[in-house]
Amino acid sequence: MATANVLYAALLVPTVLYLAVTRRRSSRLPPGPAGLPLVGSLPFIDPNLHTYFAGLAAKHGPILSIRLGSKVDIVVTSPELAREVLRDQDSVFANRIMPDAGNAVSFGGVQNIVGNPVGPMWRLLRRLCVHEMLSPSGLANVHGLRRREFRSTLRYLHSKSGEPVDVGAQMFLNTMNVITSTMWGGTIGNESERAAVGSEFRALVAEVTELLGTPNVSDFFPALAPFDLQGIRGKMERFRSRFDLMFAKIIQQRMKAQQNGGETATDFLECMLKMEKEGGDGKAPFTMDNVKALLLVIDLSPR
C-alpha cells in the first residue's frame, strides 16, 4: 500500500507542477485555445491553416496564442497587426526561429539572413542582398542573363503551340533559372554544362522544399530533436553535403577564372567573394560558409 501511495505521489507532483507553470505562463499570453496537456492544440490543427486561424480569431480576437507541443506561438490575423509586426516593428520581431530541418540544410542556420538574429552580421547580410543584388545597378548587371532565360521560356512555349502546357511549372522553372543566373550565371561556361547543373539543382531544391514542409516532431518538441525521430535532419544534412559540393565547384571555377586574369561576370557571387576576401565589413566577419548559405537560401526563395 505504501509503495502504491509513493507511486501516486510521484505521478501527481509533476502533473500539478506542470499545470501550475503552464497556467502561470498562460496568464501573460494573449487568449487562445486551451489545448491538451503535453501536445497542446496539435491534434486539432486543420491542414487549411488560413481557415483554422480565421476561426480562432473570430473567437479569441486578432492576436492569439496557441500551444503546439511544448512551444507557444503567437498568431496575428489582422492587416494592421501584421503591418505592425512585419514592417513597423520588424527589428523587434526579426529574430525568427529556424526549423530543425532548415538549420540542418543551411550550413548552421545563422550563416544566412533568414536565421540570423538582428545584429552586425544580420545587417551585413541584409546590406549585401539589398545593395548588391536588388539595387538598380545590380539588376542591370545581370540584365542580359535574365533576358536570355525569358527568351528561352518564350521559345519553349511557342514550340508547344496547340499542346497543353503546365504554365505554372514553366514560370517556376523560368524564375529558378533567372535566380541562378543572377547568382552565378557568368561562372558556368557552356550551355550543356549550365543545363546539367540547373537540372541537378532544381531536383535538390524540390526535395529540400518538400522536407521543409513536412511536420517535424523536433520542431514541436525541441527536447527530442537530438534523436531525429523522423530522420528529417539526417536527410537534410545529406542534401547540404550535395549543395556544398555543387557550390564549392562553382566557386572554384570563379576563383580560378579570377586568378587567370579572365573576364568574370559582375553577379552576386562576385560581390560575395569580394566581401569574403575582405573578411567582412569590420563589424562582422564574412566567411565562405556565409557565401554558400546565402546562395542556398536565395535559390530556395521561389518555392
**How confident is the model over 254-274, as a mean pLDDT?**
77
Which is more confident, 265 or 80?
Answer: 80
pTM of model > 0.85: no
Which is more confident, 92 or 237?
Answer: 237
Task: Give the burial string for 92-109 (b: 16+ CB within 10 Å, else e).
Answer: eeeeeebbbbbbbbbbeb
Cα gap 118→122, rounded to integer Å: 5
pLDDT of 194 > 90? The answer is no
pLDDT at 226: 94
| Amino acid identity at 222 | P
Cα gap 297→71, rounded to integer Å: 25
Look at the block and give the residue holding cell 479569441: 60
pLDDT at 22: 52
| Amino acid identity at 245 | L
pLDDT tens figures, 286-299: 999 889 988 888 87
Which of 72-76, 183-187, 211-215, 247-251 comes out lowest in average pLDDT?
183-187
Which is more confident, 11 or 196?
Answer: 196
pLDDT tens figures, 129-164: 888 777 787 778 778 878 888 888 899 889 988 899
pLDDT at 68: 95
The answer to whether the beta carbons of residues 250 and 184 sit under 8 Å apart is yes
* Local confidence band at 9 (pLDDT 50, 70, 90 cut-offs): very low
Which is more confident, 235 or 191?
Answer: 235
pLDDT of 252 > 70? The answer is yes
CATH for the 120-299 domain, from 1.20.1440.130, 3.40.50.2020, 3.20.20.70, 1.10.630.10? 1.10.630.10
pLDDT at 264: 61
pLDDT at 3: 54
Which residue ranges make up each domain of the chain?
Answer: 28-93, 120-299
- Cell numbers found for residue 184: 552565378
pLDDT of 189 > 70? The answer is no
pLDDT at 172: 76
pLDDT tens figures, 236-251: 999 999 999 988 988 8
pLDDT at 191: 60
Percent of residues, the chain, with pLDDT higher than 70:
83
Cα gap 242→203, rounded to integer Å: 11
The answer to whether the beta carbons of residues 297 and 272 sit under 8 Å apart is no
pLDDT of 170 > 70? The answer is yes
Percent of residues, the chain, with pLDDT higher than 90:
37
**Average pLDDT value for the chain:** 82
pLDDT at 91: 78
